[in-house]
Amino acid sequence: MPAHRLLEWQPADGWEPLCAALDLPVPDEPFPHENTTADMRARIGDLDRR
């Protein structure tokens, strides 16, 4: 893939860079943030207890 087409994106970046790269409009709703840091720590803790 040509470097100019590569998008380095993280969920924390939100809709704007993702939609710009895909040439799509930015939705009017907030970007869905699943698996917060607290969620992941809780899941890892659950694994440690097994």
Domain regions of the chain by residue span:
3-48
pLDDT in tens, 24-47: 999 999 888 677 788 788 888 766
How far apart are the C-alpha atoms of 39 and 34, rounded to whole Å?
Answer: 8
pTM, entire model: 0.57
Average pLDDT, the chain: 85
CA distance 50 to 45: 9
List helix spans (H) across 1-50: 15-22, 37-48
Is 30 in contact with 37 (CB distance < 8 Å)? no
